[in-house]
Chains A and B, each alone.
Chain A
């Protein structure tokens, strides 16, 4: 009994194990759905794992992951600083569109200049989108969750509107923007991709994601800025008492978070998409960022891993129809994982299960 108890305690006290358990449970629930649909669990999950069995698959996963990682970092940063950036979706969209406009209209600029310019305008657009909401909150006390959700829709329709404007819209019949200049993409050279056996959209975005991850970690853990934002996030009353300007901190936090989401939009565009379609519904990269931040426990390194995990599910999930399984299965798995993480406090209480059984000493 003694040994088992200490095992339960180990499980209860370890956040990483909670996440792992949630993921396992997510796959279990997914398996139940497969069984109900009379599909082979082994075949479907086999396909999922098989998708990363070669270099091409792995590079695909990495390419898929980049926007999720950066959007996840955006939301994680907001969690750490006490605001809930549910507006990452809108910031992602405006960032992406800003980068697209620059990437289309200034396509003749040299590549390094254009890439950096695209990043900057995307971050600026995302930051502005975040600051407006923060301003409404601090100035008039408007609930940021509500205004963010509205700003997500404003961004969505704004993007669709701009994508259809002459000078931006594709000259062909596609309901999308023109392709951004090659100088604005992050793609590796075709020869290099071929030589290495990478996925055709293999690009340098992952390095940007790694840099951002480290920068965010440093900001949160090592700087006075991080100290100030966290203090406000944990206890704004004590922060105010200690002389910190709470409103300014909330604006700063949302601006940084918004800039990251905007950058995530640019990375998606410049790494994979190449153009922005006129969509009929929100794409959900920003919302996925919330999921990634949750799975990664808002820790920058955790978010990085979680982003890769999410990217893998998205890429691997797209292969599921090859075995006749619906790709929506992935949503079931992700939803279940998030559900269990949200209630992971039950894992933390596992150790009490043993204690409350009567007749035990």
Chain B
């Protein structure tokens, strides 16, 4: 994909030999980066490789220990984000910084409002916002409240916020981690619109596919060290992955042939409503056998969330039944389902999976704190809990090591997920539910999660996998169920899955 807007003679950003140390820890060790006008430049690295540290220095949130930053050929001192904004750099953080009850316009102009005398000129603000949004094809409703618009829209608001402040260089930090595939496609389109207008984009990501689809150049960072800068057209995803991880990565999951056993999860004619009270599950039937992975493919909003919430006891269904090994757990509290064999890796690990303020050792006993050996007669048995954590940290390769007493919130996303997997897998239940288990994780961590899921299947557990990553569904599932409009509209063996066919079915298409 040749980018005709890329001007290789005009470097807009040069970071030279950047070193950043925190105490004894070197987060960035001599990193070089050059971005040109009109270029989309990806920064690729595993979680904790030092990508965000590097970008935070460019945006003035951190100060380099040594090294120079040049913007448009001139050396600048980035002391605060204000300096960065003045130099024409804008940053869209992974977690949006928007005020929920404010409108789109109010959020965009906040801190830089057009004034009429001393009063805020809202009409002018709105007009400015509409102008910018039309110029770059970022359509938004300027009067909508942030709390009412989708995540994809919120991201547009963030991008507009940066553009409104006159940014010529945009840093996008993991911009796709919470977007749907359609939203990702639109984002890439927007990025191309921006470069066509002479803007440059720094894209922090660990998703190889998106780099291939959008970026011109890619700089790879591994454990704080500069590895290489490559022209994206000249490498393939496997090359990028091995450079990032430092070893060969297998995307294919090894899965021995295996006959499924008895029915473990049986969902019968399930009906339920969503948070607005609108019926969203319309008589759904589903079975998962021992020793098999059933993947649910579907576009977000077709009832997946509600299905899982009903199975795990977080939501009540209106009718139907959910059985585990022949026992109904329908409309019973979560603890009941757990006792009868349900364990799960929730979609939102920070909301449902972990108590971030709790230490790792305490998070590892979330369902079992009342059981021997972790407590006895209502008193927690700290040595036993610690021992359990030590052993889990080692077995499940949770990093950093010796972190039994560390709050879970201080871990990287991948390691938080490992804590949840360690807990759920060791619960040793007959059914394992995994919802978007690799969202936001890097290639190394994805490989790890997939291996553990397949291992559970091989041990004879029933696995129910819900994922918006079609690749994930296709590579892991023994059986794929396509969910559309509240029911399973087709069931196909995983080995016969085909992306186009699945895509068609997910959109509700009938077999011809």
Binding site for B on A (CB under 8 A): 222-225, 227-228, 230-231, 234-235, 237-245, 355-359, 361
Point out the residue from B344, B351, B378 that lies within 8 Å of A238, measured CB to CB. B351
B333, A243: Cβ atoms closer than 8 Å: yes
The answer for the CA separation of A225 and B380 in the assembled complex, in Å, is 9
The distance from the CB of A243 to the nearest CB of chain B, in whole angstroms, is 3
A-B contact pairs, 8 of them (CB 8 A): A235-B355, A238-B355, A239-B355, A240-B314, A241-B353, A242-B334, A242-B367, A243-B366
Binding site for A on B (CB under 8 A): 63, 77, 79-80, 312, 314, 333-335, 338, 344, 346, 351-358, 362, 366-367, 369-370, 375, 378-380, 382
The answer for the CA separation of A238 and B314 in the assembled complex, in Å, is 11
With A235-B356, A242-B334, A358-B77 as given contacts, are A228 and B369 in contact (CB-CB < 8 Å)? yes
Contact residues of B: prevailing secondary structure: loop
A241, B346: Cβ atoms closer than 8 Å: yes
The distance from the CB of A146 to the nearest CB of chain B, in whole angstroms, is 20
Residues of B within 8 A of A231 (CB): 355, 358, 366
B63, A222: Cβ atoms closer than 8 Å: no
| Beta-carbon nearest neighbor of B423 in chain A | A242
Number of A-B contacts (CB under 8 A): 73
Contact residues of A: prevailing secondary structure: helix
The answer for the CA separation of A358 and B82 in the assembled complex, in Å, is 12
With A237-B352, A238-B352, A241-B352 as given contacts, are A223 and B63 in contact (CB-CB < 8 Å)? no
Listed from nearest, the 5 A-B pairs whose CB atoms lie closest are A243-B335, A242-B366, A241-B352, A234-B357, A235-B355
A234, B355: Cβ atoms closer than 8 Å: yes
Q: With A231-B366, A242-B334 given, can you name 18 additional A-B contacts, CB distance below 8 Å? A: A222-B382, A224-B378, A227-B369, A230-B355, A231-B355, A231-B358, A235-B355, A238-B353, A238-B354, A238-B366, A241-B312, A241-B334, A241-B352, A243-B334, A243-B338, A244-B335, A356-B79, A357-B79
Indicate the member of B344, B354, B355 with the most A CB atoms within 10 Å: B355
Residues of B within 8 A of A240 (CB): 314, 334
With A235-B355, A241-B352 as given contacts, are A222 and B366 in contact (CB-CB < 8 Å)? no
The answer for the CA separation of A231 and B369 in the assembled complex, in Å, is 11
Residues of B within 8 A of A358 (CB): 77, 79
Indicate the member of A240, A241, A245 with the most B CB atoms within 10 Å: A241
Residues of B within 8 A of A243 (CB): 333-335, 338, 366-367
Indicate the member of A243, A244, A356, A361 with the most B CB atoms within 10 Å: A243
Point out the residue from A223, A239, A244, A355 that lies within 8 Å of B380, measured CB to CB. A223
Residues of A within 8 A of B357 (CB): 234-235
B380, A222: Cβ atoms closer than 8 Å: yes
Residues of A within 8 A of B358 (CB): 230-231, 234
